Amino acid sequence: MPTDQAIALPPTGLAATGATGTWPARRGSRRDYLRLAITPVALAVMLLALWAWVSAQHLDSIERRTLNAGYLRAAILQHLWLTFTAAVLVVVIAVPLGVLLTRAWARRLTPVALGLANAGQAVPAIGLLVLLTIKFGVGFRIALIGLVASSVLPVLRNTIAGIQQVDPALIEAARGMGLRPHQVLTRIELPLAVPVMLAGLRTALVLCVGVATLATFVNAGGLGDLIINGLKLQRVSVQVTGGLLTCGIAFFVDWLGAVADRLLRPRGL
């Protein structure tokens, strides 16, 4: 019996769906899944530790009005709603604009668009919210404008960079096969740019989580209410709860971005 022949193992997991059937490939995939599992486990441990710490405190009436399931649930849902609504708007605005700016006839406008996006991120979010409040009042819509302005740059920049890094030889080969420009874009350029674009989206999501804490200043709710109330009333337990929950949401949305990257990345990249 030859000793140099590879031993074939039965396909499992991703290998059974068409991935490479060798053991090293499957083991690499398992390592990836283990890495993805670390974040939710760490978040669960953090939340349990926070709950145990708060439960051990002697809370006064002010703290009990804030640190209860109903109030915390409402604040978390408001924060998530702000974050994901802003992220959807950023994608709707930045991805088509980024694709447009990679077309030959529009490339001259790229510095202008990136300059405006840079300005939106460079301006302090709290200053922008104050200016918008003076002109338009307070509310969810004002907070949303601030979040979008602060988060559009990573998605726009990475969309442009992701499409520009596609090998021109692949594009020429696709054109030589008879593909029309929109087919080249949807079948070649965008699929190959997905990893870079998703990296920008993950950055934008984390930025949205952080800036959403400032929504409390325009009466839009969120976990910023806990942090500011804790600071004003000098309640450390409220401050710590608001801060840790905000950090937890930031890690959670970054983990969602990693999962999306895993699922949407073209096979072989």
Nearest partner of 241 among 24, 87, 59, 83, judged by Cα: 59
Q: Determine the pLDDT at residue 77.
A: 94
Give the length of the chain.
269
CATH T-level assignment (fold) for domain 21-264? MetI-like fold (1.10.3720)
Higher pLDDT, 111 or 32: 111
Instruction: Sort 226 into a burial class: Cβ within 10 Å, 0-12 / 13-18 / 19+.
Output: buried
**Over 50: is that where the pLDDT of 134 sits?**
yes
Which pLDDT band, with edges at 50, 70 and 90, does 257 fall under? confident
Q: Does 13 have pLDDT greater than 70?
A: no
pTM of this prediction? 0.80
Confidence of residue 7 (pLDDT cuts 50, 70, 90): very low
Residue 10: predicted pLDDT = 39
Residue 267 has pLDDT above 90, yes or no: no
Write the CB contacts of 15 (distance below 8 Å, at least 6 apart in sequence): 21, 25, 26, 29
Pairwise CA distance, residues 259 & 252, whole Å: 11
Q: Are 129 and 142 in contact (CB under 8 A)?
A: yes
Note the pLDDT tens digit of each residue in 182-200. Answer: 888 888 898 899 889 999 9
pLDDT of residue 223: 92
pLDDT (average), residues 165-193 = 88
In the chain, % of residues over pLDDT 90:
43
Burial of 243: CB neighbours in 10 Å, binned 0-12, 13-18, 19+: middle
pLDDT in tens, 80-109: 999 999 999 999 999 999 999 998 888 899
Helix axes 190-212, 69-101, angle to 10 degrees: 140
pLDDT given for residue 83 in this prediction: 93
Under a CB-based contact definition with an 8 Å cutoff, are residues 41 and 33 in contact?
no
Q: How far is CA 146 from CA 30, 79, 132, 225, in A?
A: 40, 14, 8, 17
pLDDT at 75 over 50: yes
What average pLDDT does the segment 39-66 reach?
A: 89
Q: Which DSSP letter does residue 102 get?
A: T
Question: Does residue 177 or residue 2 have the better pLDDT?
Answer: 177
Work out the average pLDDT over 13-23. 36
In this prediction, residue 264 carries a pLDDT of 78
| Domain chopping of the chain, boundaries | 21-264
